[in-house]
Amino acid sequence: MTQQSIPHLGIVGSGAIARGLATVAADRGLAVTLCARSDASAARAAERLPASVRVGCGQAALGGCGFVVEAIMEDLGAKSALLGTLDRVVDPQAVLATTTSSLSVAVLAHASGRPDRFAALHVFNPVQRMELVEVAYPAEATEATRASTLELSAALGKTAVEVPDAPGFVVNRLLFPYLFAAVELLEETGMTPEAVDRCMTLGARHPLGPLAVLDLVGLDVAVAIGEAIGHPAPPRIQAMITAGRLGRKSGKGFH
């Protein structure tokens, strides 16, 4: 496979996942267009992206892309509405994809209007460092769609693992009960976040402790994922969100 066989990549969103995906793609020689929500968001994103990435806020710029990835907030209504809009903007033969980590791929695929050319491409934060991408498809996805998704994953330098269309896929379904258990342990024992994380980094050889992972993911995102997989977040997380402590993106969380 060559870089030339990968279609122009379009990305909709300007958050950490969208920027990380655009950066990795550009660094590996792919043509990339990123569409942000507003001129201000586009300007902020452009400052943090390679110069080769085309950045703007007009979806018409995505018309020539052969593979377009939605990478906005983890909200079913917002994602569904955006995908429906993209179906009317991008090339009819293009593949649409979502970076959802917990929502139904089948529902999003039908919202896109092209379930035969739809895939979930769940990359992990930070995208530049994480090797895995979980890929999932609706039942209607064609073999060409599946092949294109795997080719793009390889071009991004990722290892793709096909997972079932189930809430949380594999990683989040197993990970978040563990993360929430660490929060409950804080409440039960009075340990500090630093001590809990140190136990898991040194004792289990995890690169990050569970509370640092929650800070990285974002506590609001963690709540949404917990709800989706049927494992609600502990009350302490809800209280922290109310206090504006969302993790790294707000500058304050468990750490």
Our separate counts of H helices and E strands in the chain read: 10, 8
End residue of a domain, out of 105, 139, 162 = 162
Q: Is 122 a catalytic residue?
A: yes
Pair 151, 223 in one domain: no
Pair 198, 75 in one domain: no
CA 137, 230, 112, 144: dihedral to nearest 10 degrees? -10
Output the six-digit token pair for 123: 């990359």
Pair 155, 179 in one domain: no
Pair 224, 153 in one domain: no
- Its domain, for residue 75, covers 3-162
Question: What is the Rg, in whole angstroms, of the alpha carbon atoms belonging to the chain?
Answer: 18
The whole-model pTM stands at 0.90
Q: Which residue type sits at 43?
A: A
Q: Phi and psi for 135 in degrees, rounded to 5?
A: -115, 140
Pair 12, 74 in one domain: yes
Could you read off the pLDDT of 148-158 as tens digits, one per residue? 999 999 999 99
Pair 145, 221 in one domain: no
Strand partners, 121: 135
pLDDT of residue 181 exceeding 50, the answer is: yes
pLDDT of residue 125 exceeding 60, the answer is: yes
Say if CB 103 and CB 79 are below 8 A apart. yes
Q: What is the pLDDT of the chain when averaged over all its residues?
A: 95
Domain of residue 84, CATH code: 3.40.50.720
Could you read off the pLDDT of 17-59 as tens digits, one per residue? 999 999 999 999 999 999 999 999 999 999 999 999 999 999 9
Could you read off the pLDDT of 82-110 as tens digits, one per residue? 999 999 999 999 999 999 988 999 999 99
Domain of residue 232, CATH code: 1.10.1040.10
Residue in the structure block whose two tokens are 């110069």:
51
pLDDT of residue 3 exceeding 80, the answer is: no
The H or E element containing residue 55 is strand 54-56
Strand partners, 32: 9
Q: How far apart are CA 61 and CA 70, in angstroms?
A: 14
Pair 150, 65 in one domain: yes
- What is the pLDDT confidence band of residue 2, given thresholds at 50, 70 and 90? very low
Pair 46, 93 in one domain: yes
How many domains does one find in the chain? 2
Pair 27, 131 in one domain: yes
Out of 110, 122, 206, 231, pick the active-site residue: 122
Pair 25, 144 in one domain: yes
3-state secondary structure of 69: strand
Pair 26, 49 in one domain: yes
Residue in the structure block whose two tokens are 């140190």:
198
Q: Which residue type sits at 246?
A: L
Burial class of residue 38, CB neighbours in 10 A (0-12, 13-18, 19+): exposed
Pair 80, 137 in one domain: yes
Could you read off the pLDDT of 182-191 as tens digits, one per residue? 999 999 999 9
pLDDT of residue 5: 61
Output the six-digit token pair for 231: 């494992």
Q: Does residue 189 sit within a domain?
A: yes
Q: Does residue 56 sit within a domain?
A: yes
